[in-house]
Structure 1
Amino acid sequence: MSEQPGRVRFLTVLEVADIMRVSKMTVYRLLHSGELPGVRVGRSFRVPQDALDHYLRTATTVEHEQGEDRGRLSS
């Protein structure tokens, strides 16, 4: 499949979830909250590749206050 300049490539929710390594539900939450822009096509969503790239470039990570010790058992 050839890419034409100026054409937007749209990804399905499943493709976005695979790229981000998250569940489809996480992608739907991002879409419904407006954090990740998307286009509704009938009952489905499509995410522009550029919008996903921008989201991933600008996303920040959240650190837990307990850091690395979280979930470890005390001796």
Structure 2
Amino acid sequence: MSTKALYTVREAAAILSLSRTVIYELLRSGRLRSVREGAARRIPARAITEYVALLENESIGQAA
């Protein structure tokens, strides 16, 4: 991951290998955090990292 602090929905989708539609669903459900800058929605780099950690934790929980 690069050193950017905020990503567009399109960039986050590319990083996570998900569609923009799925990213918006994750944002609506609260599983992925975002911030607003005016009319623009941005996803903090930390939120992407936290989402990946959430997926890893869920994966571990399912394996147990």
With the length of structure 2 as denominator, give the TM-score of the two structures: 0.73
Runs of 4+ with deviation above 6 angstroms: none
Q: How many positions carry a matched residue from both structures?
A: 56
Partners of 2:20 and 2:48 in 1: CA distance: 14
Structure number, greater radius of gyration: 1
> What letter is aligned with 2:33?
P
- For residue 32 of structure 2, what is the aligned residue in structure 1? 36
Partners of 1:28 and 1:43 in 2: CA distance: 15
Gaps of 5+ in 2: none
Matched, 1:27 2:23: yes
RMSD between aligned alpha carbons?
A: 2.0
Gaps of 5+ in 1: 64-75
With the length of structure 1 as denominator, give the TM-score of the two structures: 0.64
